[in-house]
Chain A
Amino acid sequence: MKASTIVVAIAVIFIATAIYYLENKAPNTHPVEFTAPFVFGRFNVPDNNPLTQESVLLGRRLFYDPILSRNHQVSCATCHKQALAFTDGLKTSVGVSGIPLKFNAMSLVNLMWGPQHFFWDGRVSSLEAQAIEPIKHVNEMARNIKQLLMELNNDEDYKKLFKQAYGEISEQSITKALANFQRTLISANSRYDQYLRGEISLTPIENQGRKLFMAHPDTKVILRGGNCIDCHSQFLTSGFASKFDGFSNNGLDNDETLQAGLFTLTQNEAHRGLFKAPTLRNIAVTAPYMHDGRFTTLEQVLAHYNGGIKRSKTLSPLIIEADNIAKTQIDHISLNLNDNEITAIIAFLHTLTDDEFLTNSAFSNPFMAASDDD
């Protein structure tokens, strides 16, 4: 009697342990293998979200699935279209409410490098934290997370994909998967990249534009410059990664109309009106420009820096000071580039277009790919 009780008890414990182990065992995942130019530099992936093939597969499906929105009509890809380097071509984006948002959709590219503060005002500091905001935002996807989790749990495909990637369906695993898919969006085969690798030469006008891009003008040594490099790093062409070095007030508004920008996050008056310097990769296909999409062409952007700058308290001294004519006038801020130089800079900006990135099937809509196969 006593012995049989012990045997039964041991058996029960053994079975319970086995069930617990099988249920909670970490999923068997495979790391993503990818390459990036060494000149992009170091990058970090959060320890609690390793870049696995399973998470990217799941993230890609979620990115393209309108299930993330309340009315099942808006997905991430609604505002981030691959052909437009994951922008939407609108002045500011429109979600489920139909009310235009405050900001222009940012291009999603090379996100592991450059500033690790996301959104134009830098208000979150990881891709995981970024991913949940549009899903919940009343004007973007307006999704009730409990309801979303319920619907995902009723979907056999998602149940399987989540299990393989993270073991469970949860808010955290949704944002982790979306973050990891976006981490794989690497653009490194533009004509500029090919030039850096020594594979091609740029045309004379593109090369003139490259030199202007990379130079802060200095009339004392007759160095002409477009001053782009003061905010856009030489290889990534994004803002700078360290602290808030990637944020700048580039003279879009005067003090009366200056928006909060980075001040939203830091509550530091010196940060009022500072916005994230975006990557310029694929810039030729990501119009309109600036955080509020106010400029429709690159010509307008260059015209802004060439005489359209508005003064405000936090305007970058680098912008005020940068001038290709020895400073004679204090009031009018301009790079004073000539027409030929403006054409050259725009020609260089076109070398940042990466057609392979814009058409890479690994980044495309997986639902479309499935129906193409049928």
Chain B
Amino acid sequence: MTKSSKNTVNMSTVNKKIVLGGILLLALMLVVVSILLRPAPQDLTLRFHPFVGDKPLRLNTQSYKNPGGEGEFTIRDFQLFISNIVLSFPTNPIYEQESYHLLRFDGKNTFGQLVIPKINLSNLSQLSFGIGIDPKANGSLMFSGDLDPNSRMAWNWQVGYKFLLLEGTLTVNNQQLPLVYHIGFDESYSELNFDLAKEDMTGNGVINFKIDLRRLFQSSDTDSKQLTNLKPANKVEYMDMSEIPHVKFSPDDVKAIAAGFHDFISLCDLSPRREFSPCH
């Protein structure tokens, strides 16, 4: 009896130990699982697909219709500054540091892209960035991000940077006309905002944008930029490139082209049901 009662006591001690151990193990597992399930920081890639209207941009080899006139044009180079990227979440926004990115389209890929490393991307609800260089940086000699006063995108220290560089050739009736669009000036700096839905970002953290170069040549006779924004692409009126083949320092011409900055980048609609701005 004594023996058996002793046994019972032993058994209950053992049971307690097992239960305690089980609870500890369970707690440990919960901790491990919660760490594993916590969204891991990943790279955010903003990928920009250049188009002229519905045709993908191919440097040198592909020709495109003069948007508002006769003849066809080719592009030999296109470069663009994207800056001051802000990522918005339900909680605190993230401001990228040294946020000056030069997009180029002369690499192996047909697109240009920039990567923001190691971001917790869940609940990313809005994205904004500037086209060009903000006035403070544009008037300085700083080396920050892709800013380089000795680069092709710099004019000289009194004038600042080209925000957009577009060079090519327009051919009308076998006559060739050089196209030079070097668009800068503080007034041209434009901020764009994009509300993001879940499907706008791929599983590996890529957000795809379409750049439509034709939008740079939409006629700005309408006083309000917002109006053109609402117009479907086929209702927009375009300029004749032969009448505005070079834009560098003439403020009115710069303004006319830079007005398109507000409209020429859009989120790619990758789903087939949507009508506008397919990227593939």
Q: Which residues of A contact B (CB under 8 A)?
A: 38-42, 113-114, 214-216, 218, 220-221, 223, 229, 233-236, 238, 240-245, 269-270, 317-318, 320-321, 330
Contact = CB atoms under 8 A, between A and B. Distances in A.
Contacts of A321: 178, 180, 245-246
Contact of A317 (B76, B143, B152, B251): B76
A241 B151 contact: yes
B57 interface: no
A242 B152 contact: yes
Interface of B: 59-60, 76, 102, 104, 106, 141, 143, 148-152, 154-158, 167-169, 175, 177-180, 182, 245-246, 248-251, 253
A41 B248 contact: no
B108 to A, nearest CB: 12
A218 B250 CA distance: 8
A138 to B, nearest CB: 35
Closest 8 CB pairs of A and B: A317-B178, A233-B150, A220-B250, A214-B156, A321-B178, A320-B178, A245-B152, A218-B249
Contacts of A216: 155, 182, 248-249
A41 B180 contact: no
B154 A234 contact: yes
B150 A241 contact: yes
A216 B251 CA distance: 15
B248 A218 contact: yes
Nearest to A236: B150
A113 B178 contact: no
16 contacts: A39-B149, A41-B143, A113-B150, A216-B155, A216-B249, A220-B253, A234-B150, A241-B151, A242-B102, A243-B104, A270-B76, A317-B169, A317-B178, A317-B180, A318-B180, A330-B175
Contact of B250 (A221, A238, A242, A320): A221
Nearest to B60: A270
Contacts of B168: 317
Contacts of B155: 214, 216, 229
Given A245-B151, A318-B178, 9 more contacts: A38-B141, A40-B150, A221-B250, A233-B150, A233-B151, A240-B151, A242-B148, A270-B59, A317-B168
A40 B169 CA distance: 33
Q: Which of A229, A238, A244 has the most CB of B within 10 A?
A: A229
A192 B177 CA distance: 36
Contacts of A269: 60
Q: Which label, helix, strand, loop or mixed, suits the secondary structure of the A interface?
A: loop
Contact of B148 (A41, A214, A223, A330): A41
Nearest to A210: B156
A220 B252 CA distance: 10
A224 to B, nearest CB: 12
B180 to A, nearest CB: 5
Contact of A41 (B76, B150, B249): B150
Contacts of B175: 330
Contacts of A320: 178
Given A317-B76, A317-B178, A330-B175, A220 B249 contact: yes
A228 to B, nearest CB: 10
A234 B156 contact: yes
Contacts of B157: 234
A52 to B, nearest CB: 26
A41 B144 CA distance: 10
Nearest to A196: B157
A233 B180 contact: no
Given A218-B249, A220-B250, A220-B253, A242 B178 contact: no
B152 A235 contact: no
A243 B157 CA distance: 22
Contacts of A223: 249
Contacts of A233: 149-151, 154
B100 to A, nearest CB: 13
B249 A234 contact: no
Contacts of B179: 317
A114 B149 CA distance: 12
Given A270-B76, A317-B168, A321-B180, A240 B152 contact: yes
A206 to B, nearest CB: 16
Contacts of B180: 317-318, 321
A39 B156 CA distance: 12
Contacts of A221: 249-251
A77 B155 CA distance: 36
B150 A317 contact: no
B92 to A, nearest CB: 31
